[in-house]
Amino acid sequence: MSIVVDSVSKRFGDFQALNDVSLEVRDGSLTALLGPSGGGKSTLLRVIAGLETPDSGKVVIAGEDATAKPPQRRNVGFVFQHYAAFKHMTVRKNVAFGLTIRKRPQDEIDGRVNELLELVHLDGFADRYPSQLSGGQRQRMALARALAVQPRVLLLDEPFGALDATVRKELRLWLRRLHDEVHVTTVFVTHDQEEAMEVAEQIVVLNHGTIEQVGAPRDLYEKPANEFVMRFVGPVSELSGRFIRPHDVEILLERTDGAAEATIDRVVHLGFEVRIELSLGDGESTWVQTTRGKAEELELDEGQTVWLRPEVEPVSV
């Protein structure tokens, strides 16, 4: 189901967490709220869930104004960074919680829980307690619990933030595949641009309580609306006072029109990628990203003089 956020503002004391934020999330889409901590992304998610009340503005879920509804009447699934597992219940009871509250018949509950445990690869763990699970398993249990009630939208607040790098990567891919299977409208919060790019169809960049840009991952990377988005979604280097992706700079061995002269300070081999650190004529330093093949072809070496030319139009400050 679609979500519409209309001019929502929220203030905590002196801190303006959200400032007149409007956003539309398409039915069945997978959206990331991306931004630095304190940017307002978690607050926005919690406003959608009803866990925070906005000072002004509206939240419409599936065409229905939900602003005044308490969380238990919104039918949203919410997954917390630190799992929020019910510690005194087994995995089965945790997943069944929403259905038990809704007083569904026991055989229906059992069937649905088994189905979900299979979906999140936790069949066989049904009778364990959350303290007997790993972080990744707990988060998958929390996801199954949120999905059990067939929510209209699924909201995840930094779902992989507390997990270690390997499990994180695994769960990302898995969330993506899960979304392809279940098709529930999903919004997740992250401060990790790689995570947002890899998982989401649509990324919303939030900073200082306002939306900087909304777009597909590729649009954000290639056509950032401003310097903040550009810096936040990928690596940036500066060339003649303008910003450019370090792999969009061409290295030339001869003086050319429109190319800036530079001296190579350092050549850093990072495997396939090679990073060239340079000093420009005006004393500014910059860096360029290239491939191993290209660096070998040009026989780049420290102390060498080269010319740098943007391959695409850089963004002016």
Partner 1 sequence: MSSKRSVRTRQSRVSAKHALRFLALGYLLLLLGIPVGLVFFNAFQDGVGAAWDAVSTPEAQHAFYLTMVMVAVAVPLNTIFGVLCALAIVRQRFGGRAVLNAIVDLPFAVSPVVVGLALLLVYGRRDGWVGEWFSEHGIQIIFSTPGMILATMFVSLPFVVREVIPVLREIGTEQEQAAATLGAGPLQTFFRVTLPAIRWGVAYGIVLTTARALGEFGAVSVVSGKLSGQTETATLFVENRFQRFDETGAYAASVVLALLALVTLLAMNVIKPKEGQG
Choices 3-11, 57-65, 84-92, 167-175 (CB under 8 A): range interacting with partner 1: 84-92
Nearer of residues 74 and 245 to partner 1, judged by Cβ: 74
Phi-psi region of 190 (alpha: psi -120 to 50; beta: other; left: phi over 0): beta
CB of 101 to partner 1, least distance (A): 5
**To the nearest whole angstrom, how small is the minimum distance from the Cβ of residue 86 to partner 1?**
6
146 binds partner 1 (CB under 8 A): yes
**CA–CA separation, 71 and 238 (whole Å):** 46
What CA–CA distance (Å, rounded) separates 226 from 176?
28
Total residues binding partner 1 (CB under 8 A): 31
Alpha helices in 65-134 (DSSP H): 91-101, 106-119
E strand map for 106-259: 153-157, 185-190, 202-207, 210-215, 237-239, 242-244, 249-252
Shortest Å, Cβ 208 to partner 1: 25
Does 68 sit near partner 1 (CB under 8 A)? no
198-237 residues near partner 1, rule: CB under 8 A = none
49 in contact with partner 1 (CB under 8 A): yes
Q: If binding is defined by CB under 8 A, does position 84 make contact with partner 1?
A: yes
- The amino acid at residue 152 is R
State residue 105 phi and psi, 5-degree precision: -60, 145
Among 10, 23, 78, 246, binds partner 1 (CB under 8 A): 78
Interaction between residue 13 and partner 1 (CB under 8 A): no
Q: Is 3 in the site for partner 1 (CB under 8 A)?
A: no
Which of 98, 136, 215, 314 lies at the binding interface for partner 1 (CB under 8 A)?
Answer: 98
Binder to partner 1 among 7, 22, 56, 72 (CB under 8 A)?
A: 72
Q: Which positions ≥6 away from 34 have C-beta within 8 Å? A: 41, 190, 191, 193, 196, 203, 204, 205, 206, 232, 233
> Is residue 233 within 8 Å of residue 193, measured between CB atoms?
yes
Q: Name which of residues 100 to 139 contact partner 1 (CB under 8 A).
A: 101-102, 129, 131-132
| Residue 281, both tokens | 């004529």
Would you give the distance in Å from CA 154 to the centre of its chain?
Answer: 15
Q: Per CB under 8 A, does 67 bind partner 1?
A: no
- Which residues contribute to the site for partner 1 (CB under 8 A)? 49-51, 70-72, 74-78, 80, 82, 84-89, 97-98, 101-102, 129, 131-132, 142, 145-146, 148-149
